[in-house]
Structure 1
Amino acid sequence: MTTQFYERLSNDLTQLLENPIDYNVTIEVGEEPDNQIYKAHSYILQSRSSYFYKKLNEISFNENHIKVLKMPDISIKILDIIIKFVYGGIISLEKLENSVVFDLLITSNELNLNELVELLQTHFVDNNNSWIGQNFSRVYLTSYQTKNFRIIQEFCSDIIAKYPDTIFKSESFPTLPENVLISIVQQDNSQLEEIKIWKYIIQWGKAQNPTLPTNLDEWTSDNFLTLKTTLKQCLPHIRYFSISSEDVFEMIFPYQQILEPKLWSDINSKLLAPNKPISSTILPPRKILNKTLKVPNSLSSNIITEENALRISSWIDKRELRYIRYTKNNPYEFKLLVRGSRDGFNVKTIYEICDKIPNLLIVLKVKDTGEILGGYIPCSLDKNNDEWIYSQDSFAFSLKTKNSILSRVKNFDYAILNYPQQSKLFFGNTLCFVGNLKTDKSCCLQSKVSYDKPVRSEKFIDSNLSDKSGFNIEEYEVFTVSKKINL
């Protein structure tokens, strides 16, 4: 029989870091006078990291039998996280900004902490794809130059191939380094029309030369030469002979001066006489899987997006890392049952249409503020009974661009108030619907007794509804949520 006490071991080693008995290494981090000194143990450091193994073997003990390791280029915050991971094998990313986590990833790689490098990459891909898109230039360039960032490399390559518009339309696109842009344009399976790739390359070239006239009619030969020089390494990767005659005339003809004369001549020859031989290299057409390929958007909602649906699906499955749009399809199907503007805004409508149907998702848009609130009911509503419904898995929420709020039920016996006769439907006392949701100003937030946190930044009341606490909604929708088949 083998018994393992990893948690106890982790706690004991963490305590050893906090109370460094018999330490024989000091790590100096940051620049003086704001530097910080960590007291550590060479055997632990060297057994956990080949970087520390090599470095500490290169350093001699001083007169106090201490090895002094100076790391001025690493921030105190980053090393504090890393040293605790080295000792205790524990790391928490919840309260860290994405930029800090990415710096942590880079430093972990430099210190040869391979298991942490893999964990952090998975964290980004599974939980922070939006941040990767917003910072694509930095992320892709870093992964492009780092052998160990295989997970992020594959993720970025998949995005570039399947959803190139995500990159080309991002705010960071004009700042992409030339070698990164070339690596994108070179891809044979980029799911984008060739003429669009041409337009984006022209856009990038202009961004590198902000003094070029805005109006193309005002361009001189020197202006075209400037753009040609900037795009010298990119232009050979365009599949010119896959572009239609109309697009050549409208989009390429105005910039013909940036092309080599022979290439421009061959483009025209091929359009006029397709079977006539030419001397220019003809690159094969890109492997377009579907000419109308778009990011999947099967959700029939006027309130929530596919990204919102993925987040809600993660909450349903109680995933610590949420499902993401690009690498994993939503495992759930959201089927619209009720829409206020179509079916009516009285709460009784929900009971009539959704009677005996389990796994209901209610989402609503608050009038005037645009807030999106809602809740998930895994059990079935009953239009013929007034009762509290028991549930361990219901939750309420507020969807925001950043820092969405999830409030899980904690008092299972009072999870859902099912009161059709009084036109009431409550998520505990956290989110309450009464009467006509559009006109009665009857939606409200009361106490958070049954659920673990409030879902709206507003003063709560503990008694009856009032005009002060109630609010109207602009629209609401109810979906039934079910697992997809044959994923």
Structure 2
Amino acid sequence: MELKFFDKLSQNFTKLLNDKDDYNVIIEVEDKKQFTAHSNIIKCRSPYFCKELDTINPNENNIKTIIKPDISAQILDIILKYIYGGIVNLENIETGIIFDLMLAANKLELEELSKSLEKILIKDKASWLKTHFSLLYRTIFIYNNFKDLENFCNDIVVKYPSLIFDAEDFTSLQESALVSLLKRDDLQVKEVKIWEYIIKWGIAQNPTLPSNLDKWSKDNFLTLKTTLQHCLPYIRYFHIPELDTINPNENNIKTIIKPDISAQILDIILKYIYGGIVNLENIETGIIFDLMLAANKLELEELSKSLEKILIKDKASWLKTHFSLLYRTIFIYNNFKDLENFCNDIVVKYPSLIFDAEDFTSLQESALVSLLKRDDLQVKEVKIWEYIIKWGIAQNPTLSSNLYKWIVLPARTILISELPNRLKELFSTIISDDHAAEISSWIDRKNTIYPSTNYPHEFQLIFQASRNGFAPQTFWNMCHGHAGTVVIVKVKGTDEIIGGYNPLMWDNTSSGYKETKDSFIFSLKNGNIQNSILSRVKETRFAVYYYSKNSQTTYGLCFGCNFYILNNAKCVCSCDSNYEKDIKGKTGTFEIVDYEVFKVKKKTA
């Protein structure tokens, strides 16, 4: 029979840890905080300490000092209690600390502890891992010991590859992370697109390579090949379009025939594929349009989408001048949603461009349906009905020209739900549904933006300065008692739209700072402003500020002194540290055109 007395043993060794009389090791961590330990114990428990102590000379008191500035005092305290007593108490420990503890345990070669924490994070803290996905993904591949977490991450990335491949810092991805993704059979990216990504990544690892592909030497190509040597074996070349259907000649060379693509356009495309650069200087807009179509045919989505955006942003006049060509072309494909919307935004205002055109009946069905879906189509419904009957008959030339010979269906016996009126009332004069969907996703702390047609919150306008007045006192009176509100501000003379979300109730009888962890301020993409900025509260005690009655004549809403509104239609943005980021780009007082306050609540079914 074997008797085990681990509990008492653990207690005795834990007591030894707290004994300051017989130590011979000092471990200095972050902020120069020092812990004492016994060399025989920590060497026995940790291979890292065993190797480290062998390289350190003792001082005159025969004490060795280990410096670990990258480990916090809280984490080393937990680790030492584990080393001595075999116990780790994670109660009331934040998940971020558990993650850092796992990394520290791995560095100190405490495999048992590291693996246990890895399993706990995956099993019990999956939501935190997903919320901090970028941090997680960039960290675990630095090491090679977190295979379960690697698989956890890759299970997400293969379904949502844009999280990594379309990230701004994609080219700084660890090679091991990239290779682990390329090994996956279920990566939801077309092989030709994967090829583009790894070429882009490989070039970024060699900043000395010429930016002009025409100047590349044989050695340059060899450099790129060497950089990608661990990636290339996992490219499924047989899945790259066209190459898998072509037999090579006697020299093992395959020939692709593309008579519908000009030499000029293919030259641009090849330079993009190999060098990641497209020079549009002195290129006619018509060529850019054809280049976009060719890129779409060759499934170069990144290039195609970028050109689509350029055409809409910088070449709108050309698009309008060549509207018929544009409209007839883009609906042949199904990949130019932004251009489809650009066209339909014109057609709904000037429907005769399409409906009264001589070739209306040759219109693509997808184009017609996309117009019929629009609530703002400026045509009477009876007229729309006539148009689609005309179009439908034209698609069936064998139909009898005598209507009386047609089969007539009986009257319906069931009720059907009605479509909404064509003219949709705008809920805001400042923001769109796209903006509302983005704000809605921030409120719910989602990593991806809700679709603009299906976001879960309703925005109820409770205050509008241009309608109710810019006097701060009016804001305090009208918004008093409302909780869960979004403030939207349009800055004068720019495309800037800024604002904030306050989950707390506005109270004009209270004063001082109010605490919440859920408030945030923001700047929305609009016009020339390409990217939105989300800035969550950092100092939760100073999230929002409510002014006293005497001050409410001068000051309106205030988010932690980072963003607040004054009288005389002015607002102030500062770089105060209560929120994560500066949303305005510079500190100062700015005039505003208007601002709105919405009560935000979940939509009911």
TM-score normalised according to structure 2 size:
0.43
Contact 2:520 2:534 in 1 (8 A): no
Instruction: Give the aligned partner of residue 155 of structure 1.
Output: 153
Contact 1:340 1:475 in 2 (8 A): no
Instruction: Give the aligned partner of residue 146 of structure 1.
Output: 145
The whole-number CA distance in structure 2 between the counterparts of 1:221 and 1:161 is 37
Instruction: Give the aligned partner of residue 205 of structure 1.
Output: 202
- Among candidates 369, 374, 378, match of residue 500 of structure 2: 374
Instruction: Give the aligned partner of residue 85 of structure 1.
Output: 78
- Counterparts of 1:10-409 in structure 2, within 5 Å, are 20-21=18-19, 24-29=22-27, 38-40=35-37, 51=45, 72=66, 75-78=68-71, 80-86=73-79, 87=81, 89=89, 104=104, 106-107=106-107, 110=110, 112-114=112-114, 116-117=117-118, 122=125, 125=129, 127-132=131-136, 136=138, 138-142=139-143, 145-147=144-146, 150-151=148-149, 153-164=151-162, 166-167=164-165, 169-171=167-169, 173=171, 176-177=174-175, 179-221=176-218, 223-245=220-242, 262=252, 265=254, 268=256, 306=438, 312-313=443-444, 323=445, 325=447, 333-338=456-461, 346=469, 359-364=484-489, 372-377=498-503, 397-398=520-521, 404-405=537-538, 407=540
Contact 1:337 1:477 in 2 (8 A): no
In structure 1, the residue corresponding to 2:188 is in which secondary structure?
A: coil
* Uncovered stretches (5+) of structure 2, i.e. residues with no partner: 1-10, 54-61, 82-87, 258-333, 338-430, 523-532
Alpha carbons of 1:52 and 1:455: their partners in 2 closer, same or farther (altered >3 Å)?
closer
Q: What is the CA distance between 1:154 and its match in structure 2?
A: 0.7
The whole-number CA distance in structure 2 between the counterparts of 1:201 and 1:186 is 13
Q: What is the CA distance between 1:42 and its match in structure 2?
A: 10
Contact 2:572 2:589 in 1 (8 A): yes
Q: What is the CA distance between 1:75 and its match in structure 2?
A: 0.9
User: Given the alignment of the two structures, is residue 441 of structure 1 paired with residue 570 of structure 2, yes or no?
Assistant: yes
Larger radius of gyration: 2
Deviations 1:372-403 (A, max 9, x none): 5524255599xxxx8779x9987765457677
Aligned partner letter, 2:113? L
Q: What is the CA distance between 1:212 and its match in structure 2?
A: 4.1
Q: What is the CA distance between 1:261 and its match in structure 2?
A: 6.1
Deviations 1:410-459 (A, max 9, x none): 99xx969999x989865699776566xxx5226799xxxxxxx967999x
The whole-number CA distance in structure 1 between the counterparts of 2:63 and 2:603 is 54
Contact 1:366 1:471 in 2 (8 A): yes
In structure 1, the residue corresponding to 2:184 is in which secondary structure?
A: coil
Contact 1:434 1:442 in 2 (8 A): yes
Aligned-CA RMSD value: 6.5
Aligned partner letter, 2:140? V
Alpha carbons of 1:387 and 1:20: their partners in 2 closer, same or farther (altered >3 Å)?
closer
Aligned partner letter, 2:600? V
Q: What is the CA distance between 1:408 and its match in structure 2?
A: 5.4
The whole-number CA distance in structure 1 between the counterparts of 2:534 and 2:559 is 26
The whole-number CA distance in structure 2 between the counterparts of 1:42 and 1:408 is 44
The whole-number CA distance in structure 2 between the counterparts of 1:379 and 1:471 is 26
The whole-number CA distance in structure 2 between the counterparts of 1:444 and 1:180 is 40
Percent same amino acid at aligned positions?
Answer: 23
The structure with higher relative contact order (CA 8 Å, sep 6+) is 1
Aligned residues: 372
Contact 2:546 2:558 in 1 (8 A): yes
The whole-number CA distance in structure 2 between the counterparts of 1:79 and 1:393 is 27
Contact 2:510 2:548 in 1 (8 A): yes
The whole-number CA distance in structure 2 between the counterparts of 1:227 and 1:469 is 48
In structure 2, the residue corresponding to 1:39 is in which secondary structure?
A: strand
* Uncovered stretches (5+) of structure 1, i.e. residues with no partner: 1-11, 60-67, 270-290, 314-322, 446-452, 459-467
The whole-number CA distance in structure 2 between the counterparts of 1:215 and 1:442 is 47
In structure 2, the residue corresponding to 1:104 is in which secondary structure?
A: helix
In structure 2, the residue corresponding to 1:113 is in which secondary structure?
A: helix
Deviations 1:27-58 (A, max 9, x none): 44369xx9986334899x89xx99469989xx
Deviations 1:57-106 (A, max 9, x none): xx9xxxxxxxx99784x61451633332244947877999x9x7785364
Alpha carbons of 1:423 and 1:359: their partners in 2 closer, same or farther (altered >3 Å)?
farther
Alpha carbons of 1:203 and 1:443: their partners in 2 closer, same or farther (altered >3 Å)?
closer
The whole-number CA distance in structure 1 between the counterparts of 2:543 and 2:462 is 29
Q: What is the CA distance between 1:168 and its match in structure 2?
A: 5.4
Q: What is the CA distance between 1:187 and its match in structure 2?
A: 2.4
In structure 1, the residue corresponding to 2:456 is in which secondary structure?
A: strand
Instruction: Give the aligned partner of residue 317 of structure 1.
Output: none
Contact 1:23 1:41 in 2 (8 A): no
Alpha carbons of 1:359 and 1:76: their partners in 2 closer, same or farther (altered >3 Å)?
closer
Aligned partner letter, 2:214? D
The whole-number CA distance in structure 2 between the counterparts of 1:188 and 1:347 is 59
The whole-number CA distance in structure 1 between the counterparts of 2:194 and 2:227 is 16
The whole-number CA distance in structure 1 between the counterparts of 2:190 and 2:135 is 26
